[in-house]
């Protein structure tokens, strides 16, 4: 499976401009790289996060679904559409959407771990479900940014059979080392592929650090970005997972009776 992570820059609160830019980047990426999956970062529609969410957030994903369902169908590509600031009823969620090649919405996921140091929990409601789906027959999962600091979530997805994890983020530059370390750890400890798509540029006073990556189950980089807007592409060969899990079978050797979580 060929995966392209689009390390997008965006303007805080400028939804119209960001929608146009995201669509243009996907078109350019599909034309140049011919991926099976194109991936966008976290809250690319608004940035993370403007003061007046009501003025720029999507409404129950309506705009995201209309634009990217049609785009996935037109380009015959799976789109892991990052996440968007999204109004649901009288509140807001940080919601990820996944589209298959036919434009069908395969998954919707509201971020479950909200970043309290920045006050995200005051602006958004937390989700209460994990996210699993299949792309071209491959078992996939999705997490959003701060979620990656909670190994229980990724291990839950691994135990449910996920072989490829998408992690979409607006992770700050000053903690780039944490992101790189956590992403490789999640891939290694769960013996899965991990496609990390972070953003770049400024969101208010915070500068996002990029360093998107596609990582194999050994923790090796298949593709790696730096700190500017760019697209990276890597190919996941799922046949290696069986050999890795046979040679170091951490799932067989688990002792869940000792774990108190």
Q: CB count, 10 Å around CB of 90?
A: 6
Q: In this structure, what token pair is assigned to residue 138?
A: 């491959």
Whether the Cβ atoms of residue 241 and residue 250 lie closer than 8 Å to each other: no
Active site residues: 42, 111, 145
Q: In this structure, what token pair is assigned to residue 150?
A: 């909670």
The number of CA neighbours under 13 Å toward the Cβ of 159 is 11
Whether the Cβ atoms of residue 206 and residue 172 lie closer than 8 Å to each other: yes
Vertex 173: Cα angle to 99 and 233 (nearest 5): 40
Alpha helices in 44-170 (DSSP H): 53-56, 62-75, 120-123, 151-159
Length of the chain: 261
CA distance 10 to 219: 29
The two beta strands, 213-215 and 206-209, are unpaired
Nearest 10 degrees: Cα torsion 106, 210, 67, 84: 70
What letter does residue 89 receive in the DSSP assignment? Answer: T
Q: In this structure, what token pair is assigned to residue 166?
A: 């998408």
CA distance 170 to 148: 12
């Amino acid at each position: 499976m060929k995966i392209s992570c689009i390390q997008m820059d965006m303007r805080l609160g400028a939804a119209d401009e960001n929608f146009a830019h995201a669509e243009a980047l996907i078109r350019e990426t599909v034309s140049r790289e011919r991926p099976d999956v194109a991936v966008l970062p976290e809250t690319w529609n608004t940035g993370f996060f403007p003061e007046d969410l009501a003025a720029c957030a999507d409404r129950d994903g309506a705009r995201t679904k209309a634009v990217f369902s049609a785009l996935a169908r037109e380009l015959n590509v799976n789109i892991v559409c990052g996440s968007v600031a999204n109004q649901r009823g009288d509140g807001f969620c940080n919601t990820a959407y996944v589209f298959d090649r036919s434009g069908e919405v395969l998954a919707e996921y509201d971020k479950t771990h909200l970043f309290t140091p920045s006050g995200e929990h005051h602006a958004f409601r937390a989700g209460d479900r994990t996210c699993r789906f299949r792309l071209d027959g491959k078992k996939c999962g999705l997490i959003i940014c701060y979620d990656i600091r909670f190994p229980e979530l990724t291990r839950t997805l691994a135990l449910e059979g996920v072989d490829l994890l998408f992690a979409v983020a607006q992770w700050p530059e000053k903690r780039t080392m944490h992101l790189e370390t956590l992403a490789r750890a999640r891939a290694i400890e769960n013996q899965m592929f991990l496609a990390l798509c972070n953003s770049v540029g400024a969101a208010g006073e915070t500068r996002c650090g990029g360093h998107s990556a596609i990582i194999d189950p050994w923790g090796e980089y298949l593709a790696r970005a730096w700190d500017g807007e760019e697209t990276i592409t890597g190919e996941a060969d799922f046949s290696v997972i069986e050999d890795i899990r046979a040679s170091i079978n951490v799932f067989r050797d688990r002792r869940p009776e000792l774990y108190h979580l």
